Amino acid sequence: MRALGLGLWLVGGCLAAEPVVESNVVYGMYSGAALLLDVHKPANPNGYGIIYVSGSGWTAPMAYSAPPLKSNEQSLLYAKPLVAAGYTVFSLNHRALPRFHYPAAVEDVQRAVRFVRHNAARFGIRADRIGAAGGSSGGHLVSMLGTLDGKGNANDPDPVERESAKVQCVAARAAPTDLLKAASNPFVGMRLPAGDGDAQRSTIEYRTTAEASPITHVTADDPPFLLTHGDKDGTVPYAQSEEFEKALRGAGVAVKLIRVEGGGHGPTFPGAVNPPDYMGEMVAWFNRYLPRQ
């Protein structure tokens, strides 16, 4: 997709109207600080919404002038084909390292789903069919949206918090799905004790790291998952997606793993050899599964 001027974009060889972006929508407040998202509105909406979470290593620069996660290059890159296909895309900021550790970012992305669901009529989408996409740490967070129960609190005074945070379809790129595979993880902020027996598994460090891992929460009622991963990824091993696919398939969840030969870590799979149309695969996955009743 590329801009041609006069409000037009070239998408797949066809002209399309340039999407409208509603910026800095407040989806929640944390200790007086606003949590923001951008709404990418298609010219011809199909009535479905996608939460997009960019990869960042769960971190954010601390300078006041730092560019926001919701409008970085990766967010725009992945929003464009989805918007061109008619999806309303919600790209968001979340609390991040070094100030905030788990579960802050998970709570924030859940809040974003609840907010979008509660305001579905305002955004012209179906409240009962919301998808999620993201890469790397963002892939981890959207995988948590797919695997966690996400049940709302019916007694919460905030009506947004009464909504479910469960999404109905997920596309995750190069997602770390089992944080127990690393001795330490900055997102959790803990180092696993040495050993691998019952003594280790009984520690708060082990239990918290397992709780922060999507693979821990896989159940038969999880939504369809599209996993895309480069087999030369030196940051998040390809095996993370292989094991997650196995767990989802074992639970009877619809899942597809796209192996990008030679692909390293990054939104465009640097070093990939004859890469597949991973953007098209993402759109096709949502087209196939998100409209299901």
Average pLDDT score, the chain? 93
Looking at residue 6, its pLDDT comes to 38
pLDDT band at 105 (very low <50, low <70, confident <90, very high): very high
Whether pLDDT at 9 is above 60: no
**Strands 33-41 and 88-92, sheet pairing:** antiparallel
Residue 181 neighbours by CB under 8 Å, 6+ apart:
237, 240
228-248 residue pLDDT tens: 999 999 999 999 999 999 999
Residue 252 neighbours by CB under 8 Å, 6+ apart:
220
- Phi, psi for 267 (deg, rounded to 5): -65, -20
141-150 residue pLDDT tens: 999 999 999 9
| Mean pLDDT, range 48-66, rounded to an integer | 96
Helix, strand, or coil (residue 117): helix
Whether pLDDT at 177 is above 80: yes
Whether pLDDT at 215 is above 60: yes
Q: H or E stretch including 226?
A: strand 225-230
pLDDT band at 292 (very low <50, low <70, confident <90, very high): confident
Looking at residue 185, its pLDDT comes to 85
Q: Helix, strand, coil % (nearest 5) of the chain? A: 30, 25, 45
Distance of alpha carbon 85 from alpha carbon 266, whole angstroms = 23
Whether pLDDT at 5 is above 80: no
Domains parsed from the chain with CATH numbers: 19-178+213-289 (3.40.50.1820)
Q: What percent of the chain has pLDDT over 70?
A: 94
Lowest mean pLDDT among 85-89, 94-98, 188-192: 188-192
| Mean pLDDT, range 17-43, rounded to an integer | 94
| Mean pLDDT, range 207-222, rounded to an integer | 97
> What CA dihedral angle connects 95, 87, 148 and 75, to 10 degrees?
-30
- The structure tokens listed for 265 are 């870590």
Whether pLDDT at 293 is above 80: no
Looking at residue 118, its pLDDT comes to 98
Q: How many CA atoms lie within 13 A of 30 on its CB side?
A: 16
Looking at residue 4, its pLDDT comes to 36
Looking at residue 14, its pLDDT comes to 52
Looking at residue 184, its pLDDT comes to 78
